[in-house]
Amino acid sequence: MANGNAFKATVDDQYEFEDLKGELDLISTGEGKFHVIKDNHSYNAEVVSTNYNDKTFAVKVNGKVYDIQLADEYDILVKRLGLQIAAQQQVKDIIAPMPGMVLEVSVEAGEEVSEGTPLLILEAMKMENVIKSPGDGVVKAINVTKGEAVDKNYLLVEME
């Protein structure tokens, strides 16, 4: 993985492939659809879903769906150094980033949320700001109600 274009693909958490560049004959047959030839075998592939933030993809090959996790040389280095641990920590508290009024609460106590889940809408300076969960967790308590005014750093949602 010496060059900047190298990557490692992990398929279904079982199989690992490195540096496939140049080994595949790939032709686009439509949006998200491809015809692939590898080792004289023909495959029809379709990208079913993508998450560019996590570098995860679901790809259907000849009718079977595979979950793929891509990692570039920097992802591998971060993992080797153990720096990904901080990113996997669960969220504890959600505080108001600015003073404002709660327009909507989208979750309930006891609800399991993942990274990016909208928790509430906070109106500040005539703009609606969607406050999203920065990580995975369970809503322990909601400390605001619709229509309530809050100050900056007010504890909005407690997580566990």
Tell me the per-residue pLDDT of 35-94, one tens digit each, with 9 for 90 and over: 988 888 899 999 888 877 778 889 999 999 999 888 877 777 777 776 655 555 556 789
**Model confidence over 4-13: pLDDT tens digits?**
556 788 888 8
Q: Are 157 and 142 in contact (CB under 8 A)?
A: yes
Q: What is the pLDDT of residue 149?
A: 96
Confidence of residue 1 (pLDDT cuts 50, 70, 90): very low
Higher pLDDT, 102 or 83: 102
Using CA atoms, how far residue 105 sits from 25, 100, 129, 148, 158, in Å, is 50, 14, 12, 11, 13
Range 63-91 burial, b when 16+ CB lie within 10 A, else e: eeebebbebeeeeeeeeeeeeeeeeeeeb
Mean pLDDT is lowest, of 16-25, 81-90, 106-115, for: 81-90
Q: Please report, rounded to a whole number, the percentage of residues in the chain having pLDDT higher than 70.
A: 87
15-32: average pLDDT: 79
Q: Please report, rounded to a whole number, the percentage of residues in the chain having pLDDT higher than 90.
A: 38
Q: Which class in CATH covers the domain with range 93-159?
A: mainly beta
Q: What is the pLDDT of residue 55?
A: 82
- Sorted by where each begins, the domain ranges of the chain are 7-86, 93-159
